Structure 1
Amino acid sequence: MTGLNTVTKVLITGFGAFQGVPSNPSWGIAQRLPSTLPNNIELIAYTSAIPVAYHPTIILVPKLIAEHQPDIALHMGVAADRDYFAVEQTSQREPWPVLDIEGQNFSPEEVEKVWTGQPQKLSTDLDLHDVVAKWQNRTQDIVFPFADGGNGNNKEKRQRVQAGQAVQVKLVEDVMAVEDVRWSDSVGNYLCAFIYYADLVEMKENGKSGKRDVAFMHVPMLEGEQQLGVGVDVTVELVQSLVESWRAQQS
């Protein structure tokens, strides 16, 4: 049985830069997180931004699980076309059509070699609907700061990116008010989906509990210390929600 007197270890990662995202807020959040939280929670934030590249990622994930043996793994990435935070339910084995920052993809032959016998789609064993209900309650008083300092009048051209590829440039208000935190099942088919699938496999096969106690959170395109600080607050509340729900599953 796992309770408040037992330390729960949560491994956390964030990605580095890629096309259209010179400063990835997922890594900006990860490197600003505390090492411990109330209720005996230990945060193990990987010490570097994970490169947005398939082959380094597939090498790194098993090493992180073997070294740290976390109870829960939380990976983070940016969804710059969204104005909300979301945890993703599933990921898929393939395809991986988008070239990474090294100009590489992950071929069907490599997929078969690494993940022989694994299903096309995998889902976390965490109860994300329960997690999100707790997360929404915990974050209802968080106010997202204005990107322009609060006057709401500044406009600029901002390039949105999705699934690792730049899309059209839109003229948008330089004000991002995060509406909420959500459940989602749209992780994409780039490195966010890739690392999520890789760790869903790894935690099941070589993790401490033999369960897929893994989550992936997409964050909006946060910029500057004030917005990243809010991202940290939202992430802390997600971790607390994940751990509370996970502990209830263990009892």
Structure 2
Amino acid sequence: MGDARLDHDMGSEPREDEFTILVTGFGVGSPPNQFPSDLIATSHPALVFRNPATEAPFRAQYPVNPSWEIARGLPAYLPPLRGKDDGDPAADSDLPPVRILVHPEAIRVTYQDVRALAPSFWDGAYGGGGGAQQRRIDACVHIGMASARPRYALERRAHRTGYRTPDVAGEFLEDELPGGQEDERWIWHGLPDELESALDIPNVHRRWKELSSPEVDLRISDDPGRYLCDFIYYSSLATLHKQQRPGKVCFFHVPADASDGAVERGRELALNLIRSIAESEMAEKKRAAQ
């Protein structure tokens, strides 16, 4: 599959009227098949071994993470709706140019990597690394793999605690170890146990369904899974909460199918979701200005 990151030209000068959406995707990985059954039973659905005693771990069953395949193939700008000028990113008269800024690497499925990386998305001028031109992020879509079931979920909220499954490096989240949440120096001390997206998720979901095929199962979910998907979502929302900024973030859960057809479908749905977010935000901005 091609890598559309090469076409993003993250060093190009951003336009003042652009609406910029950051998109991230996870890489491949799962814990080795060596953990107690009670840990496996409480893990994220994408990590549950169908038969821990006999089956190969998740990595062998799903060697490609479709979330990154979807993210890395997105165009640099939201294309116009079919029937409009395909060469003009501003052809949708109700929208400014919608810049799609894909984080340049698949995010490693570890608590340490996510905790170190997530705040950089919201430091006021995300550059994406490599000395690229810094950009203001208006909204963010984190993408992750949920399960083999053919459904797509728009997650509404994320959780501060309950991360009891080790990451791909076999490491547990330090917060969940004895005493990890008692010290006032804990990074999430005093934050709510749940944080909700500041996007109008029902409105975004309605628009998303209207843009997408009725045959595709698109749902709102309130349980991202208490694993790295939930963790990166809460990390972004917590960073913005601490900065007293609205949490214009959502999480898009996709099935585990990484075939070409499934990735293409996921990419189309991701574009529809991005359009829905931009439309919803522009409509809210217009209402607020009246």
**Normalization by structure 1: what TM-score?**
0.78
Q: Which residue, 3, 9, 25 being the options, matches 2:20? A: 9
Is the aligned partner of 1:61 residue 2:72?
Answer: no
Name the CA shift for 1:219/1:104 in 2 (closer, same or farther; >3 Å): same
Identity of paired residues, percent? 31
Any idea what the Cα deviations from partners look like across 1:81-104, whole Å, max 9, x if unmatched? 431111101111002100001111
Give the secondary-structure state (helix, strand or coil) at the position aligned to 1:35: coil
**In 2, Cα distance between equivalents of 1:89 and 1:191:** 16
How far has the Cα of 1:217 moved from its partner?
A: 0.6
Tell me what 2:67 maps to: 26
Tell me what 2:256 maps to: 221
**Normalization by structure 2: what TM-score?**
0.68
**In 2, Cα distance between equivalents of 1:140 and 1:230:** 10
Moved segments of 4+, more than 6 Å: none
Any idea what the Cα deviations from partners look like across 1:23-46, whole Å, max 9, x if unmatched? 100000010000111441001100
Contact kept? 1:18, 1:101, Cα under 8 Å: yes
Is the aligned partner of 1:187 residue 2:224?
Answer: yes
Give the secondary-structure state (helix, strand or coil) at the position aligned to 1:77: strand
Larger gyration radius, structure 1 or structure 2: 2
Give the secondary-structure state (helix, strand or coil) at the position aligned to 2:202: helix
Bigger strand fraction: 1
Give the secondary-structure state (helix, strand or coil) at the position aligned to 1:233: helix
Tell me what 2:161 maps to: 94
Is the aligned partner of 1:42 residue 2:99?
Answer: yes
Contact kept? 1:65, 1:206, Cα under 8 Å: no
**In 2, Cα distance between equivalents of 1:72 and 1:213:** 5
Contact kept? 2:18, 2:98, Cα under 8 Å: yes
Residue 22 of structure 1 aligns to which amino acid in structure 2? P
Contact kept? 2:28, 2:63, Cα under 8 Å: yes
Name the CA shift for 1:75/1:110 in 2 (closer, same or farther; >3 Å): farther
Any idea what the Cα deviations from partners look like across 1:178-210, whole Å, max 9, x if unmatched? 732111112111000000000011123348xx1
Residue 236 of structure 1 aligns to which amino acid in structure 2? L
Tell me what 2:236 maps to: 199
**In 2, Cα distance between equivalents of 1:54 and 1:229:** 29
Contact kept? 1:96, 1:107, Cα under 8 Å: no
How far has the Cα of 1:224 moved from its partner?
A: 2.3
Q: How does 1:64-75 map to 2 (within 5 A)?
A: 64-66=121-123, 67-68=125-126, 69-75=136-142
Contact kept? 1:31, 1:45, Cα under 8 Å: yes
- Between 79-88 and 107-116, report the one with greater CA deviation: 107-116
How far has the Cα of 1:234 moved from its partner?
A: 0.7
RMSD: 1.8
Give the secondary-structure state (helix, strand or coil) at the position aligned to 1:55: helix
Give the secondary-structure state (helix, strand or coil) at the position aligned to 2:147: coil
**In 2, Cα distance between equivalents of 1:104 and 1:129:** 36
Tell me what 2:132 maps to: none
Residue 86 of structure 1 aligns to which amino acid in structure 2? A
Give the secondary-structure state (helix, strand or coil) at the position aligned to 1:230: helix
How far has the Cα of 1:110 moved from its partner?
A: 4.7
Larger relative CO (CA 8 A, sep 6+): 1 or 2?
1
